[in-house]
Structure 1
């Protein structure tokens, strides 16, 4: 595939997924900045209820999770069409490391990102540059926790396979330098988190640089998916379980 077609493909994949999220996030940030109280009094809501009727809410939640994976399937499929390139499993490192190795590295990466991330969030709230993040406003049903876990897995798969695995692979094919690839991937990650405020956006840029460098050195995306899943499970499920305590902080 020539460079021109490759660039068009990248724009299409991002336009169907996290590139579109970045645009909406910028608009959301502008809305928060221009409302009374600014970011200090604003809220960023994740995993919101879709209907007051339980069965319909569950249906919408599962449909949203399922269709969100489609751009990932498209990105991976497009990688399989490359001629004179190694198999996708090799290019994304899905054939490297056993299960325990991937889990161990994922847990380590989650700790490296998660612990400073909490401090950055509370610091951002104190400075008024981060919105209050409500990670699980879902009503509590028997399926709430499983759906929140699925949402965490979905976020991890979409973000790490598209922003790291797919995008970095394609930018390599365009012969971009390593610094430019890492910065581009990290800035995109920060951009689609801007709806949470500047503090969280900066934190996600740092996360993107660390995750991107890991992929550059190892060509392994699975530990990143595991790390991201762990972070979101703690955030989503932890908030759901401790909602009353969190709201009193």
Structure 2
């Protein structure tokens, strides 16, 4: 799946490979392994998948809202440590996060592009999820189960932004840069990024795997066109914010939304 590239042989290549494996082991690679184990548990459990739930943002201290808030903020902050590691590694390289397009040079353009992407992908993703669940290929995804307290919506938005930053920085900007430096062919790198994105969503079911792989292909192509993860972060954050907050507001009030 790889091809040779001049000027990146020997110890330098081994160092880059080790770095990529370590970054993934501390972040989305570990999540992918956990998702596979979770999916095996789901498919071997009696009953259809749609009768099982995959909860994304859940309470950490039932009945103790202030402690729950502390745990929610702690979870968001610690989930972003791999992003800080990537920023450190890119800075040591002399490139910085600007090299993958996560900066404030084009905030309006990034947000507009992100909104357009979110509008295109969001509805399609919802339709795919509902279809996969109805066909028995997906668990019921419960975006949130937080208590109805004042910090519920802010925490959901923070979780959406955290997901977006973590995933797009690691699985698009960082991974594609390193695979290119290691001499991977463009198509092989695209497949690796898309498969990784799909795999850590497998806990949701086959629909989560396939839908996120398709999203991964689109995001890689857009990143290569714009050379910026900023629009992808904006799009992902908007998609997850609508999913989390929309579920919080609509669950139990509309018939088409599984709960």
Q: TM-score w.r.t. structure 1 length? A: 0.95
Please say if residues 103 and 230 of structure 2, whose CA atoms lie closer than 8 Å, have aligned partners that are also in contact: no
CA distance in 2, matches of 1:192, 1:94: 23
Counterparts of 1:126-205 in structure 2 under 5 Å?
126-205=134-213
**What CA deviation, in whole Å up to 9, does each residue of 1:116-136 have, x standing for no partner?**
111101110110001100001
CA positional deviation for 1:111? 1.5
CA distance in 2, matches of 1:103, 1:198: 30
CA positional deviation for 1:245? 2.0
Please say if residues 157 and 241 of structure 2, whose CA atoms lie closer than 8 Å, have aligned partners that are also in contact: yes
Work out whether 1:34 is the aligned partner of 2:44: yes
Q: How many residues align?
A: 246
Work out whether 1:12 is the aligned partner of 2:22: yes
Q: Which has the higher helix share?
A: 1
> 1:69 maps to which residue?
80
For structure 2, the residue ranges without an aligned partner over 5 or more in a row are: 1-10
CA positional deviation for 1:97? 5.6
CA distance in 1, matches of 2:101, 2:241: 24
CA distance in 1, matches of 2:72, 2:134: 33
Residues 91 and 103 of structure 1, relative CA distance in 2, 3 Å threshold: same
CA positional deviation for 1:40? 2.4
> 1:92 maps to which residue?
100
What SS does structure 1 have at the residue aligned with 2:253? helix
CA distance in 1, matches of 2:252, 2:222: 37
Larger displacement relative to structure 2 (88-97 or 201-210): 88-97
CA distance in 2, matches of 1:105, 1:197: 29
Q: TM-score w.r.t. structure 2 length? A: 0.91
CA distance in 1, matches of 2:29, 2:161: 19
CA positional deviation for 1:95? 5.3
**What CA deviation, in whole Å up to 9, does each residue of 1:100-148 have, x standing for no partner?**
2111100111122111111101110110001100001111100000000
Counterparts of 1:215-230 in structure 2 under 5 Å?
215-230=223-238
For structure 1, the residue ranges without an aligned partner over 5 or more in a row are: none
Residues 24 and 89 of structure 1, relative CA distance in 2, 3 Å threshold: closer
CA distance in 1, matches of 2:14, 2:199: 25
CA positional deviation for 1:88? 2.4
**What CA deviation, in whole Å up to 9, does each residue of 1:226-245 have, x standing for no partner?**
00000000000010111222
The 4+ residue runs of structure 1 with deviation greater than 4 A are: 246-249
CA positional deviation for 1:248? 7.2
